[in-house]
Structure 1
């Protein structure tokens, strides 16, 4: 590359960085301005950071910063998980969940990855609601798909396709939908669902995932989604403490299996291969549920309120 070409490239990096960091333009807007793809804008911004054109300094109160780093270090030493965020607690559960949702959006934007898969539940619903309230596109991904089928209750937070649709609309991403319930009643029905073209397409999306945002929930939980039909009394007998998506786990992270579990969700072996398998907790997530999720080996990043992390470490 000649000197003129090198100067031109540096000039482009400076221009893109100024548009994003100083003019508050979205990656989508910058992509449209230059006639390039949004992933290319993300790569240019990364190159601007790597070459020192952009430097980011985080200024936080020393006491708060020290406390949060200490908690993440403890999580890393105990569970081997160093990625994610500990979110300071709000004045109540509602404020804490809002803070978790905001942090999740910032975290996903910061990753700058393309293919996102999402779970369901109240806290992921809060993430989607937070995106919907913003007055700009939130470029968390370029494609988004559900990690689990649709719930059979009248709650938006458990309708996977609705969550995917909203994220796609507010991030400018391409949506992939799943046209099946979260659980069916028989092995024959499960085989039928898995033979459909739509399921195979979703499986291909799962294989391409860069990021999976999965809920860490409690057991027992409300709504229950027919867990008794799937497991009988096995969850109680084997002392389930929580769930990842709709996989139930004990406090040591062992997944509880059942011959009558006909759930439709991403296979755990694919979740384990995802580069960023991000477990997200709400204000009322049980410390035992979080412990089980971290010990399972299927989560490699966490987004959790400070009090949940602290209580888990103290147990």
Structure 2
């Protein structure tokens, strides 16, 4: 069997298809398939994984089913959202690792995106671990006419997946062109930021973000471990001042207060990214967010009108449901 695995790409895809049919079509176990084709079970696992990644097998989950749970409907109605998708790892008796929780959030988020995006959309992509998890878990699904736009300038960080990587990965899965933002996320000075934003190419790229049909974003908290701090974009002193000024969340590198309003605090005047109003203008606004520490930020984002579709984990969903305050009116 090893020789079969070394055949050309066309033969390899045929092998992947046949293994997928045995597993998904006939219901054979991985051990059964391994015995039938005379390979190790780990080889079968890898072949099935490759079949999904290469688009040989397309496993689709009905997003409407994910959004039909009692908790999803309660959250939708409480906050006036169009759809709410809740990611659950299902085994409450055995706590899952943060990595597995994030993967499941990405799986559900990718399904939510597939349900939300429409043909011909201008799709804006922000940054962060949840957005990258969506990109990682997406199936290869070409969507006619879609164009992908990077919403936040470039960044080199070991802690935060940059907007250009998230955008390129999602565009690749969709078979769509990707328009990257040719500027840093954070300019060195206010003057440099103004010069860069005035450059014709960058100016045109930023203008395109004002005409998005769908935006995919996440939101950070304002703790010292927020991605903005870990990436070196803000200092602890700046964060402390932002908290004192009423900041509860960070959306597209910009501070928002409890009402979802922009707080023009450093380094806002050096940020090169979509404006908050650009997100509000998008007809469909998918926020993918998890973690208990982001409950206040998520409420603020919803109240500010930055969310029409919410994908979250079970823990955060429960916290949003038990919030004693009245539901915020969306803008």
Q: TM-score, normalised by structure 2?
A: 0.67
Indicate if the aligned counterparts of 2:220 and 2:227 stay in contact, CA closer than 8 A: no
Aligned to 1:254: 261
1:18-29 to 2 correspondences below 5 Å: none
Aligned to 1:88: 88
Indicate if the aligned counterparts of 1:108 and 1:140 stay in contact, CA closer than 8 A: no
Q: Work out whether 1:142 is the aligned partner of 2:146.
A: yes
Alpha-carbon distance in 1 for matches of 2:81, 2:316: 16
Query: CA offset at residue 255 of structure 1?
Result: 2.4
Root-mean-square deviation (CA, aligned residues, Å) is 3.0
Match among 153, 178, 194 for residue 197 of structure 2: 194
Match among 102, 107, 110 for residue 112 of structure 2: 107
Query: CA offset at residue 82 of structure 1?
Result: 3.3
For residues 62-91 of structure 1, give each alpha carbon's deviation from its aligned partner in whole angstroms, at most 9, with x where no partner exists. Answer: xx9553344324xx33x3223332233455
Query: CA offset at residue 233 of structure 1?
Result: 4.2
1:32-43 to 2 correspondences below 5 Å: none
Q: Give 3-state SS (helix, strand or coil) of 2:85's partner.
A: strand
List structure 1 runs of 4+ shifted beyond 3 angstroms: 56-60, 136-141, 228-233
Q: Give 3-state SS (helix, strand or coil) of 1:227's partner.
A: coil
Alpha-carbon distance in 1 for matches of 2:142, 2:102: 19
Paired residue total: 252
Indicate if the aligned counterparts of 1:186 and 1:260 stay in contact, CA closer than 8 A: no
Q: Unaligned regions of 5+ residues in structure 1, if any?
A: 1-28, 30-55
Alpha-carbon distance in 2 for matches of 1:201, 1:85: 34
Aligned to 1:173: 176
Q: TM-score, normalised by structure 1?
A: 0.70
1:1-315 to 2 correspondences below 5 Å: 66-73=69-76, 76-77=77-78, 79-90=79-90, 91-92=95-96, 93-113=98-118, 114-131=121-138, 134=139, 136-137=140-141, 139=143, 142-155=146-159, 157-220=160-223, 221-222=226-227, 224=229, 225-228=232-235, 231=238, 233-258=240-265, 261=268, 262-283=270-291, 285-315=293-323
Query: CA offset at residue 251 of structure 1?
Result: 3.2
Alpha-carbon distance in 1 for matches of 2:297, 2:166: 24
Q: Unaligned regions of 5+ residues in structure 2, if any?
A: 1-54, 56-61, 324-331
For residues 12-54 of structure 1, give each alpha carbon's deviation from its aligned partner in whole angstroms, at most 9, with x where no partner exists. Answer: xxxxxxxxxxxxxxxxx9xxxxxxxxxxxxxxxxxxxxxxxxx
Alpha-carbon distance in 1 for matches of 2:239, 2:107: 38
Aligned to 2:20: none
Query: CA offset at residue 285 of structure 1?
Result: 4.8
Indicate if the aligned counterparts of 1:211 and 1:274 stay in contact, CA closer than 8 A: yes
Structure 1's 95 and 154: CA in aligned 2 closer, same or farther, altered over 3 A?
closer
Q: Give 3-state SS (helix, strand or coil) of 1:307's partner.
A: helix
Query: CA offset at residue 266 of structure 1?
Result: 0.7
Decide which moves more: 187-196 or 80-89.
80-89
Aligned to 1:24: none
Indicate if the aligned counterparts of 2:196 and 2:202 stay in contact, CA closer than 8 A: yes
For residues 232-279 of structure 1, give each alpha carbon's deviation from its aligned partner in whole angstroms, at most 9, with x where no partner exists. Answer: 742131242221121222334332212652111111222111001111
Alpha-carbon distance in 2 for matches of 1:108, 1:310: 22
Indicate if the aligned counterparts of 1:152 and 1:181 stay in contact, CA closer than 8 A: no
Indicate if the aligned counterparts of 1:72 and 1:86 stay in contact, CA closer than 8 A: no
Aligned to 1:15: none
